[in-house]
């Protein structure tokens, strides 16, 4: 009887030991220790993979930033070029506007100059007529009428900028006078000066439109 109890106790102990071993192996398998695997190896593999993915994403972000920075620089350069072209175009337009305005003024001035030039022979005729009338015995009415016409005409032309070039007894000036003859003079102070005026000269707004034709004393 004692022998049977002893065998039962041994059998029960073996069963408990087998049960403990099974539980231990199950725990090891759950922890990744079966078949010689070390704890945390899968976790290390997962971490390396995640690090690789993170590095890949970081490189993508870096490339994207570089691309955006490049596009920004190109946009800035394009904007600067457009601004420079705009300023240059505005400067050219301003020059064109000024040149056009000046050309219009010159055209008006030339037209006015040509018109006044066409009236200068009329002034010459009026001067000759007054000289002739002054020496004749005609009525005073003819003299006064001619003088009145001459004064009105010269007054109007003077209001437009016409001025007589003073030449009589003035030093000969090639910028104002045109010598048509020379006349010997005895007085030393009259040499090199205008002795007589053959045709009156005129300026228009400071510009010579007809030189005074003169005789110079020598």
| 119 inside domain | yes
pLDDT number for residue 43: 53
- Give Cα separations from 39 to 5, 25, 51 (angstroms): 43, 14, 20
Q: Is the same domain home to 97 and 113? A: yes
Beta-strand ranges (E) seen in 110-200 are 162-165, 177-183, 194-199
pLDDT at 52: 78
Q: Is 135 part of a structural domain of the chain?
A: yes
The alpha carbon of 103 is separated from its chain's Cα centroid by a whole number of angstroms, namely 21
| Last residue in a domain, options 145, 160, 175 | 160
Residues 97 and 156 in one domain: yes
Of 160, 177, 197, the last residue of a domain is: 160
Q: How many residues does the chain have?
A: 218
Q: Which two tokens stand for residue 188?
A: 């030393």
Q: Which helix (H) or strand (E) holds 131?
A: helix 41-135
Q: Which domain holds residue 155?
A: 93-160
Q: How many domains does the chain have?
A: 2
Q: What is the pLDDT of residues 126-179, one digit of tens each?
A: 988 888 888 877 677 888 888 899 999 999 999 989 999 999 989 999 999 999
Q: In this structure, are residues 177 and 200 in contact, taking their beta carbons and an 8 Å threshold?
A: no
Whole-number pLDDT of residue 54:
80
pTM of the model as a whole: 0.54
- Give me 190's structure tokens: 């009259």
Is 16 a domain residue?
no
Q: Which residues of the chain carry a pLDDT beneath 70?
A: 1-46, 138
Residue 151 included in any domain: yes
Residues 98 and 156 occupy one common structural domain = yes
Asked whether residue 156 falls in the same domain as residue 166, the answer is: no
Classify 36 as helix, strand or coil. helix
Say which residues have a Cβ less than 8 Å from residue 109's Cβ, sequence separation at least 6: 205
């Amino acid at each position: 009887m004692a022998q049977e109890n002893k065998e039962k106790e041994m059998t029960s102990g073996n069963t408990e030991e087998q049960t403990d071993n099974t539980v231990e192996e199950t725990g090891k398998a759950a922890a990744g220790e079966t078949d010689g695997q070390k704890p945390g190896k899968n976790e290390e593999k997962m971490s390396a993979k995640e690090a690789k993915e993170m590095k890949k994403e970081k490189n993508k972000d870096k490339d994207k930033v570089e691309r955006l920075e490049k596009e920004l620089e190109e946009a800035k350069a394009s904007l600067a070029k457009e601004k420079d072209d705009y300023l240059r175009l505005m400067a050219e337009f301003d020059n064109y506007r000024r040149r056009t305005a000046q050309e219009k003024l010159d055209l008006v001035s030339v037209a006015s100059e040509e018109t006044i030039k066409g009236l200068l022979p009329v002034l010459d005729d009026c001067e000759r007529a007054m000289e002739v009338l002054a020496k004749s015995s005609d009525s005073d009415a003819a003299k006064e009428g001619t003088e009145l016409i001459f004064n009105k005409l010269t007054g109007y032309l003077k209001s437009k900028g016409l001025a007589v070039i003073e030449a009589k007894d003035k030093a000969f000036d090639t910028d104002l006078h045109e010598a048509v003859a020379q006349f010997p003079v005895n007085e030393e102070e009259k040499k090199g000066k205008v002795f007589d005026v053959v045709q009156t000269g005129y300026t228009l707004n400071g510009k010579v439109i007809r030189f005074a034709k003169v005789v110079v004393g020598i």
